[in-house]
Structure 1
Amino acid sequence: MNLPSINYLFSSAKESLLRFPLTLLSAFCGVCLAIYVVEFEDAITNYFPYINSLITFALGIPLFFCVSIISSKRDFGIAKSIGSHVVAALILLAIFLSLPDAENTHNTAIPYIRYGIFNIIVHLLVSFSPYLKGQQLNGFWNFNKTLFIRILTSILYSGFLYVGLILALSALHLLFDIDIKDELYFELWIVIIGLFNTWFFLSGIPEDIEQLEDNHEYPKGLKIFAQYVLLPLLVLYLIILYAYGTKITLLWDWPKGIVSYLISCVSVLGILTVLLFYPYGEMKENGWIKKASKVFYFLLYPLIVLLFFAIGMRISDYGLTINRYVIVLLGIWLTLVASYFTMGRTNIKFIPMSLAVTLALMSFGPWGMFTMSEKSQASRLISILDNNNLLKDGKVVNEVVWEADSLPEWFYTKQENTNRGVLSDSLHNEVYSIVNYLDDYHGLASIRPIFQQDLDSLIVISLDSNKYRNEAEIYMRSMGLSYSYKYSSSSDAYFSYSSDAAAVIHLDQFDYLKRIYLSNYQGEATDYTVEIEGSSYQLLFNQGDTLGLSFINKADTTNLFLDKKVEELMESNGKEYVSNLDLSSMTLEGVSNDFELKFIITDIQLQEVNDTLKSTTLNGDLLLKRRK
């Protein structure tokens, strides 16, 4: 076997550059930008513009590749080819402008999820766009086979090249004491995977893809992989899913939610196997492949019914979310694909084309995944509040009003948890989950009208002051509910109490003030030593049968009765996360031989384990007045 010469490699690289200039330009710009971010990481204060630019260049690689292939396949003239590339560039610009551009953006998840959908659509377009007109099923299959093998080959070459260069750099460092920056290893990976990998992949794309239609030589290894690896796995998974379906039918048991995801994965695996088998099934000696493919699509129907049943129960109980919407849409797509092929159709291009159209339709509009999931969760939240008398005339009852003077430093109010105990633990947890979901994916604009205050403007003021704010926490606390998940059904319960951070402590009656920080995660006693005018005093945080806090000096011990104070707090506030408590309710007092003592609890973290109460953190201010 003759190895390719340097001239051949250079010529091949040059031809790839001339065929796919904007594809390689996108890769080059992405690599340069990624290296810049690595080099100046500490100097960058807002990463959004860099991340947005980077992923836009990454999307430009398959998009410009797709346009170049179509231009070549349909013999576009120079003007038409340039115009199509300009349109692709404008699409990339529109996607870039749709992405968040500041760190204080209320919601950043949706634009990137939509970007991910567009990325999948573009890759699907690459697979079928050169073969939109006419059948050319053999050319379509060979083209995608070429892409698949080329991707694997590029990854293999890139991996070996990277490992080889890393070993060379390590040898220079070890043998010649040459200082190699740590960043260089990562930057090298960026160059190889971003530029070399892309260029190597492009150099293997045939110039005349029309001739792929007449290529009837199929890799034996691919058939072996599909027949002896993918097919047995597919049969195994189908048996497991059918056995599970039989079990829940006989026992009339509810299906587990995860079965929807398993069915989705098995269906995709089966369709991939059928696609890999397609050309071999056209051969006379492989008639069983066509029959097996049709049987597979018939076997999908009961699994699709089980999928809809399982996901329907989840939606009925917990509403529609983005993930559940995707599963429902995938079930609809699987139904279309199964129906198409069981009716005797054989156009395998229908699979990527229908999937691309389905993804495009679900990414926008009032029927789209984002709009429908937001409406579902917002309606579910309002229904829970309304059914439990937490809404009146569409507004939150006993809404917690934040004092404007406390902004933007903190959100302060004289009274919190105004609706404590109104909701059961399970409903409280549902509200907690919904508010967090809306905050993570959609923002909280949909539930803003239920509040008297303009919470959004308050949060914006806070964000403008560069203070991090958990919007979900502010909205839930404004409902008069604690921002916490209640573990009432668990053997472990976590809760805490903290005092009003804005309160003023009068020190004129005391001689000494000491900030105390006590942590205990092992269940043993913890002490804190206080030095006063040459004498040592010990503050003992006890974790025995009952919580205890003692002030000790030699034989003199003063009990501050922490256990009784915690009982009072639990009785008046419940086992919840409660903040801004009045100082009078958070104060312990005592008298020793030397001092009058006052300990103001600023924060105490508590845990109830099997009916035994423990404290992991106790922080506070110790005030001492010397006795005469």
Structure 2
Amino acid sequence: MLLSIVITFLSIYIIYLEKESISKETTELARINISLFLTFFISVGTYIFGESYGLSKVRNTVLQLVAIILGFMFCLYFEANPSNFENHIFFMISFICAICFIFFAPYVKKIFNKKEEIKKTQENYYAYFSAILYSLSTAILIGGIIFILTSIGLFTIDVLFKANIGGRAYGYAFSIAFSLIASAIGLNSIPQKESFEKGNYNENHFSLFLIKYVLIPFIFAYFVILYVYSAKVLIDFSNWPRGEISWLVIIFSTFGYFTYILSYIYEEKIHLIKIFRKYFPFVVLPQIFMLFYSIFLRINQYNLTVNRYFVLLFGFWLLFITIYFIFSKRKYLAFIVFSLFSFSTVISIGPWSVYKLPEGLQTEELKKDLKFVGILKENGKIIPFNNKEKGKNKEILEKRREIENRIRYICNWHNCEKLIKDLKLEGKIKENYAYNLHDYLDSSYYEYSYIDKNGNFDVLNIYFPNIDERKEIKGYEYHYSQIPTYKEKTSKNYIYLNFKEKKIYVYENGENIDILDFTNIIEKIIKEYGEIGSIKEKLEKPLIFELEGNKIKAKLFINGAYFRIKDGKTYESDDNFRNTISGEFIYSKK
């Protein structure tokens, strides 16, 4: 309980500091607080473990020290970056896995004890699992209700009295409701030692309805979708499977195994549930291979990253428990949460952790790439890239693209600190940021162009430096400094480029006055610059095109292009990617 009080006050203090600015201090405090949060659940698990086996006070104290050490080690290896979405995912996964310890703590020895009668052991564990799940759900529900009611009160005061209550107050309310009140309720409702071996559980219509008519049908639907998509991928090997399928397999399979536990007591009573429990591991197994196929394609392309390491490790966890439930005669339910906790602990600490191993591998690959293009010498000296050699070597162009991606990844995930230290750049880089580091290694970053090979399509990027600031505009009346690829909502006079139709629409006073065909321009750009190695040699002047419609004549100055190519044409996809052209547009009426 003391730990939950510390977490509450530390959370309030972090919220107070973050309102001023997100600094290194708040980031470090956030890392400590997250570590304490996870330590709290591990500590509760060790307490339940000690109580269930009747350990002495001294041994219980030692177990609590082990929990604190695990929390401290997690703090050392966790890189808290408030703006990084993957870090939030890692925290949520670690949070769930820390809770897992509570769900099997009294049954650690029985997981590997083959002498005990499995039916009685399963019933006891199911009763304990249900009680912990009920306690946790109740605590979260009450914490949520308190937070909502408090927020309504704060909002009412703010509206009626114009108190100007900011976001901090709601953050404080959230911290108190969940870190303090919900944790106190959860601790108070944990089942006592005497109930661990009784195997008492209540069958009710709600849980049966939830499992039979909601959970199992949705799991069935999810895996039908996965299998249909897998068939699509296998039919056309030229198209890579989307990266999201790996996470979807993990999420759906974990959800399925959670349902596998909940449905245990209904197996002999409901035929549908019996079929589900019998065949679910067999259904999961082929999708695990699809997961590995998808992730190994990407690892082979760009080595190991934090996200890919996550997927790889949880893929092995899924494979491990799936094989266990296919071949094991015991099929002990506690093995699911035990294995999840074990895997998550291993990947959170040590040099093989999800942060340290990918960072080390990516840094070493970056050094090799820097040596290949001649920026990093064997003696460790950094030499800027030779501008005269740009575009003359196809392999160097490709490597420079990889260098950009690696620096961006390392700096976004690991703050550039290790990289700057390894390259001996302390004091030479003003800030540990990807663009600054890239500028130092290659000052032409904002001038080079490339074609990026990406499985289903190529990404063409052309950037022209301002070679000629002076432009011939005689005979033209109107000028636009940008070429948007969407309709302007705030002005009545605008233009926009529709990439799908290959048309430029010109509007005056809210009405379309002309449509200019853009097809030939796109085709010429792809033909002229659509091969690696051909781009830099041809960037002697900006692209200038003259166009003519029914009512206007126009001139287009292109200083940049970024779009996807497939089979010699621009590729329109459904993942919110927007093909773009940057430049200027002038026109006059005929």
Q: TM-score, normalised by structure 2?
A: 0.67
Within the candidate set 308, 321, 324, 1:324 is matched to 308
Q: What is the letter of the counterpart of residue 439 of structure 1?
A: C
Match of 2:403 among 417, 431, 444: 431
Match of 2:437 among 474, 493, 496: 474
Within 5 A, what are the aligned runs for 1:444-463? 454-459=424-429, 462=430
SS at match of 2:263: helix
**Aligned with 1:456: secondary structure?**
coil
Residue 583 of structure 2 is matched in structure 1 by 614
For the 8 Å contact 2:288–2:318, the answer to whether it is kept is yes
CA distance in 2, matches of 1:444, 1:469: 5
1:202-251 CA distance string (max 9 Å, x none): 22222235346421423332222122112111111222222223333344
How far apart are the structure 1 equivalents of 2:426 and 2:81?
17
The C-alpha deviation readout for 1:101-158, integer Å capped at 9, x for no partner, is 999xxx9999998877654442221211221122632232222222222333233323
User: In the alignment, what sits opposite 1:131?
Assistant: 107
Aligned residue for 2:6? 29
Work out whether 1:293 is the aligned partner of 2:277.
Answer: yes
Match of 1:278 among 229, 248, 264: 264
Task: Judge conservation of contact 2:463–2:561 (CA < 8 Å) in 1.
Answer: yes
Say if 1:27 and 1:198, in contact at 8 Å, map to a contact too. yes
Cα RMSD for the two superposed structures: 4.4
Assess, with a 3 A threshold, how the Cα gap between structure 1 residues 39 and 448 changes in structure 2: closer, same or farther.
closer
Structure 1 residues 195 and 435 mapped into 2: Cα distance closer, same or farther (>3 Å)?
A: same
User: What is the CA-CA distance between 1:421 and the residue it aligns to?
Assistant: 2.5
Q: Per the alignment, in what secondary structure is the counterpart of residue 390 of structure 2?
A: coil
Contact 1:128 1:352 in 2 (8 A): yes
CA distance in 2, matches of 1:393, 1:157: 61
Greater shift in the superposed pair: 474-483 or 253-262: 474-483
* Alignment-mate amino acid for residue 42 of structure 1: E
What is residue 179 of structure 2 aligned with on the other side? 194
Correspondence for 1:165: 150
Cα distance in 1 between the residues matched to 2:67 and 2:562: 60
Q: Please tell me whether the aligned partners of residues 35 and 190 of structure 1 are also in contact (alpha carbons under 8 angstroms).
A: yes
Change (3 A) 1:359 1:280: same
* Larger CA Rg, structure 1 vs 2: 1
- The equivalent residue for 1:230 is 215
Residue of structure 2 in register with 1:262 after alignment: 248
Q: Is the 8 A contact 2:481 2:583 kept in 1?
A: no
1:54 aligned residue: 33
1:4-403 aligned within 5 A:
24-39=1-16, 41-42=19-20, 46-96=25-75, 119-134=95-110, 136-172=121-157, 177=161, 179=163, 181-182=165-166, 183-208=168-193, 210-211=195-196, 213-258=198-243, 259-281=245-267, 283=268, 285-286=269-270, 288-343=272-327, 344-364=329-349, 368-382=353-367, 384=369, 389-390=373-374, 394=378, 399-400=383-384
| C-alpha contact (below 8 Å) 1:419/1:481 kept by paired residues | no
Q: 1:85 to 1:336 in 2, by over 3 A?
A: closer
Q: Counterpart amino acid of 2:290?
A: L
Are the counterparts in 2 of residues 429 and 486 from structure 1 also a CA contact under 8 Å? Answer: no
Give the Cα separation in 1 of the matches to 2:98 and 2:22.
31
User: How far apart are the structure 2 equivalents of 1:233 and 1:356?
Assistant: 26
How far apart are the structure 2 equivalents of 1:159 and 1:445?
Answer: 39
| Equivalences, count | 472
Distance (whole Å) between structure 2 residues aligned to residue 316 and residue 251 of structure 1: 20
- State the 1:494 CA deviation: 5.1
- CA deviations 1:473-503 (Å, max 9, x no partner) are 32454245516784756687556569xxxxx
C-alpha displacement at 1:82, in angstroms? 3.1
The TM-score normalised by the length of structure 1 is 0.63
Structure 1 residues 43 and 355, CA gap change in structure 2 (3 angstroms): closer
Is residue 455–residue 475 contact of structure 1 (8 Å, CA) maintained in 2?
no
SS at match of 1:614: strand
Q: Note the 1:461-500 alignment, pairs <5 A.
A: 462=430, 468-471=431-434, 473-475=436-438, 477-479=440-442, 481-482=444-445, 486=449, 493=462
Shift, 1:306, TM fit: 1.9
Q: Percent identity?
A: 21
Tell me, in whole angstroms, the C-alpha distance in 2 between the residues paired with 1:445 and 1:350: 40
- Return the alpha-carbon distance in structure 2 between the equivalents of residues 455 and 418 of structure 1: 25
Q: Which amino acid aligns with 2:583?
A: K
* Unmatched 5+ stretches in structure 1: 1-23, 401-414, 463-467, 499-518, 524-569, 577-604, 617-628
Which SS does the other structure have where 2:583 is aligned?
strand
Alpha-carbon distance, 1:31 to partner? 1.7
Letter in 2 for 1:359: S
